[in-house]
Every structure is written in structure tokens, then in C-alpha cells.
Amino acid sequence: MRSFFKKTLPALAIGLLCQHAFAKDVLPAKLPTKEDSRLQEMATSNHIWNGVTVSQDGRIFASFTQTEGPGLQLAEVGKNAQLTPVPDAEWNHWDAKDPEHHFLHVNATRFGPDGFLYAMDAGNTGIGTGAQAVVGGAKLVKIDANTRKVVQTWVIKPPILKPTSYLDDVRFNGDFAYISDPGAPGFVILNMKTGDAHRVLDNHPLAIDHLPLYADGKKLYLPNGKEKRVGADQLEVSPDGKWLLFQAIPGPLARIETRYIDDAKLSEKEVAKHVHKVLDTWTTGGTAIDSDGNVYMSQLNTRSVMRITPEGKVSTVISDPRLVWIDAMWVSKGALWMPAGQINRTPATTGGKPSTVEYPVKIFKIDLPIAPSPRDHQ
């Protein structure tokens, strides 16, 4: 099968070309007006979430990166918007004196292929805001969801952790955890068996924040007035573990064979020459991948979720007015889960303007003939 896991495809005439073509602060966006009857509301919350993961028995867990100051970062989402802190309330209250055992800023959560729940603590509170990474705060935490006990913690320390690092998301491939770092654009490669870590693709042209972000047709701004730009963010591993797909939030989508990033002995120059652009994409909040290698990618400017096949064909899975900032998605057997975080309505993206978030925020799903990748929990 010819696919983007095997060769580089010509760039599609969307995404970057379009973003360069229009006015400074507005990008044409045809927002959907009709609700899609296939969309199912699965959970609600009065706290803004940015990621969802679901256990085999249907338990829903979410990360709450938009929490301002000390407070909820990771929770199980129950009925009637009930949120139970995970692993417990103490972990969800920041303690600068003991950063390795308290969450500072959980930006991602997912079940690993081993069935354990993982939380990625960014170790920083923002990207491009002047905030600095907290030594001891940046960590990958492995949790037994049944006992609510922390099983293991991998703390990412300097020099792997840079002063502006923000450890954003994580994917698994055998003994390795691949971690994106848009705060200091590049990737952290963690050997979970040995605890060793190294960096790859630092400031690579396909990993940097080269374009501003748009959602619902509007350019996004940080509270300090600067354009919101986010480098190396989304990442997925092909079902066979051979390829890492990645992109900055506005694209383009790129890929590299995992053998080149797993080998800590390879030089930066050697690794970099094996990266190739796959196709131009768009401002996205989050991605997911299924067992057939189809990538699901939200389109923030049209309130849609797109599917990119291994052959590079792009199609719309669903477009609905309720899909406001779909962030990190999750594939379960027969369904795609989509957290609508409305992050483009928060002061973090509107130049500090008052929030216009419409509560409660929601998690949706759509039934599809799909299954999780072997790199995720089956």
C-alpha cells in the first residue's frame, strides 16, 4: 500500500497556503449551522478540559490544562458533571516545595498500551508568556486507574528540560515515550525502561511555530498581546510503530522513522535529514489515530474533524456548530471521542479579554467503524 508512512506526498493546496492569503486578523471561516444527529453528548463540566481518554469499560478521564492557579488538573468524569480528582486531591494541588508529587499543569492524559493511565505534566504554565519551566514539575506520571495509585513517575530534568520547555503531549512505542515540547520546539524521547531521555529535532523547520493560529475565523492572541503561536505539538505513532507523525499546531504534517529518534547516539544533523513534510494542514486542537493508520485532526476554523488516510486523502468526518475547539481526541472500539474545550473563548487566546465560554463544556463522541491503534490501549 502506498502511504505517507512510506513516501512523501505533494502538499495539498489547503492550510498554509490559505493562511498566507488572507487579511492579518481574519481568516474566512464558513461555520456550520446545522447540528449533526450522529453527535452524542457524553459528559459535561464547568471546568475547561483539553483532552479525553476512555478505559475499556467506558470510564472517562480528562485533563484540565485551563485551570487558573492551583486546582483540578486530572479527573475522572462521572455522571451529572461529577469530577473526581485523579489520583487524588493532594496531587491536584500544586506544592512548589514538592514538585515531583503534585501536578503543576497537566496538558495531556491517555491510557497507554499497558492499560495504565498516563498524565503529562507540562512543567510550565504557558507557551510564549514568559513563564519558565519548573524543575521537578515536568513529568510523566503512570497511574493505576482502578486503585488510583501512582505506579511510577519519570521526571524530565535539565538539560533535557529547557528554560522555556512546556511538555505538551505524549505517545508510546515499545519502551519509548515520545513527548512534544512546543515551549522549546522539539521532542523529548524518554526510554521508560532505563529512565534515560534525549532531545531530537530542536528548532527544526517543521517543528517551529512559523504561523499564527486561527479559530472560528479569528486570529488568536496571548494575554500579553502577542500572536499565539505554538510549535511542535501534535504527534501520533503509526500502528506498526515505524513512523512518528507530528506537526506544529498550524501544520504542516511531517513524519520521521522512529528508528532515527530512538537512537540517542545519532547526531542532530543526522536525525534532521530524515524528516519530511507530508502535507499542509490547518490550525488544529488535537489529533488521534486508528488501527488502520487514519489520522483524525480537528479543524478549529470550521468546527470540524477531518480524516487523513495513509494515502493522504483528506475528508470531513463531522462538522457541527457544537464542536468549538476540539482538542486531544481518543479512539475507542467503534467510536471517536472529542472534547470541546472552547479554548478560543478564553483570555489565554483572546488577548486577555473576558471569557465568553458557554458552560458547561462538553465531550462528544461519534460512532465509527474504527478501532484503537496497537500503540494505544485496546
Q: Is residue 372 part of a domain?
A: no
Cβ neighbours of residue 362 under 8 Å, at least 6 residues apart? 41, 42, 43, 44, 45, 322, 339, 340
Q: Is residue 102 part of a domain?
A: yes
Q: Is residue 5 part of a domain?
A: no
Q: Is residue 8 part of a domain?
A: no
Q: Is residue 45 part of a domain?
A: yes
What range defines the domain where residue 237 resides? 16-367
pLDDT at 20: 40
pLDDT at 65: 80
pLDDT at 378: 57
In the block, residue with C-alpha cell 485496546: 378
Write out the chain's pLDDT in tens, 378 residues.
356 555 444 433 334 434 443 446 776 778 999 999 999 999 999 999 999 999 999 999 999 986 655 589 999 999 888 999 999 999 999 999 999 999 999 999 999 999 999 999 999 999 988 999 999 999 999 999 999 999 999 999 999 999 999 999 999 999 999 999 999 999 999 999 999 999 999 999 999 988 999 999 999 999 999 999 999 999 999 999 999 999 999 999 999 999 999 999 999 999 999 999 999 999 999 999 999 999 999 999 999 999 999 999 999 999 999 999 999 999 999 999 999 999 999 999 999 999 999 999 999 999 999 999 998 875
| Planar angle of CA 104, 285, 372, nearest 5 degrees | 90
CA 214 to chain centre: 17
- Number of H helices and E strands in the chain, helices first, is 3, 26
Q: Is residue 2 part of a domain?
A: no
We report the CATH number of the domain holding residue 286 as: 2.120.10.30
Q: Is residue 377 part of a domain?
A: no
Q: Is residue 9 part of a domain?
A: no
DSSP string, 84-134: EESS-TTTTS--TTSGGGS-S-EEEEEE-TTS-EEEEE-SSS-SSSS--PP
pLDDT at 21: 37
Specify the number of domains making up the chain: 1
DSSP string, 200-244: E-TT-TTTS--S--EETTEE-B-TTSSBP---EEEEEE-TTS-EE
